[in-house]
Amino acid sequence: MTHHRPLIRQRPITTGMCTRDNTRPSKCRRLSKLLPMKRRLLILLLMAAGTLKAQKSDTLLRYFSAGLEPVAKPEGAHTGKVYPVKNGWGAVVTDSVGHLVMTGTYRDKSLKIRDGLFAFYYPSGQAQVTGNYSVNRQTGLWISWHPNGQMKDSVAFSDGIKTGKSKGWHENGLLFHEGYYIAGYADSSWTWYYPNGKPSTIEKYTIGNLRSLECFDSSGKSTGNSCSVELPPTIMGRYGGLQKYIVDSLYYPKEALDKNIQGIVEVQFTITKEGKLRDVKYLNTPDKLLSDEVTRLLQSIPGWYPAILHNQVVDFTQTLKIPFYKPGSTPG
């Protein structure tokens, strides 16, 4: 048995059937229902990519990891069709059952440089995140949505760094937070809200440094300046924390050892407000033998205390990088 320490780290669409003076309003309404937000976004993306009107012979088939990086076929979790477009290559990526996962534009044929409009989707087809890249750096306004289609976050980037006003919303549509970034750091006054619309905290920052804090209960009554601003999920029991639990409980599968399978498993998962493990997703794995062991490990954890962010119990998604290397070998 070999242990390794983990590294935790609407403007409506206009068609020929709908006139500007709404002389055919019933058809317009029907068309609006047939074109929900996720479809409108896809249409806009295809237009932004030059509508991907490439000849069929120009279409390439590529493979993408769960983290949506191009990979060789044996590793591919998703399939992508890649088309030549103006100043680059457009990609439409789907999962194993044909659900849309990502659309975007790359500068190069090897798909290493993201450069243009990208969108990422939930399995339902609902848009999850949209925004622009410029040479692999986020730029302009990025927007995310909850699974129910309600807007989740809105923040601007400049050269990959958050800047300016930021706002977020709960799934019920009420404001979750509002504040301001300077050079990627929280600055000035930030207010966070409970799902009922009452403030949970008012936090004042100077270039990322918290200078003052006021806490509120769910009725909006001030409770002083002592509450959690950022507390990640923790495991229940006297195990010395998540890292030590992994070190003490992780096994190197014998078959993987015999086959000399090594590398880093990168796994993403969510701990819900109720302290439940959910949505385990492997962003990268050298082999299913290793990811299966990580799944066993996560499922063996006896229980979780949920995360607390800005004085609220919340669902929390985190990523672990867990190395598997044979004794005496040197990570590449």
Tell me the pLDDT tens digit for each residue of 112-126: 999 999 999 998 999
Report domain extents, the chain: 25-228, 234-324
The residues, any chain, with a CB within 8 Å of residue 296's CB and separated by 6 or more, are none
Which of 5-14, 59-68, 100-109, 186-195 shows the lowest per-residue confidence on average (mean pLDDT)? Answer: 5-14
State whether CATH 3.30.70 applies to domain 25-228: no
Q: What is the pLDDT of residue 41?
A: 54
State how far the Cα of 143 lies from the Cα of 76, in Å rounded to an integer: 27
State how far the Cα of 241 lies from the Cα of 235, in Å rounded to an integer: 6
Q: Which helix (H) or strand (E) holds 323?
A: strand 316-324
In 3D space, the residue among 165, 170, 196, 203 whose CA is nearest the CA of residue 181 turns out to be 165
Q: What is the DSSP string of 104-143?
A: EEESSTTS--B-EEEEEE-TTS-EEEEEEEETTEEEEEEE
Tell me the pLDDT tens digit for each residue of 248-276: 999 999 999 999 999 999 999 999 999 99
Hey, what CATH class is 234-324 in? Answer: alpha beta
**Is residue 242 classed as helix, strand or coil in its secondary structure?**
helix
pTM above 0.95, yes or no: no
Tell me the pLDDT tens digit for each residue of 124-160: 999 999 999 999 999 999 999 999 999 999 999 999 9
State how far the Cα of 141 lies from the Cα of 154, in Å rounded to an integer: 7
**95 has a pLDDT exceeding 80:** yes
Higher pLDDT, 239 or 299: 299
Q: What is the DSSP string of 191-211?
A: EEE-TTS-EEEEEEEETTEEE
For 234, the token pair is: 């923790």
Tell me the pLDDT tens digit for each residue of 1-36: 444 444 443 333 333 334 334 444 443 444 344 344
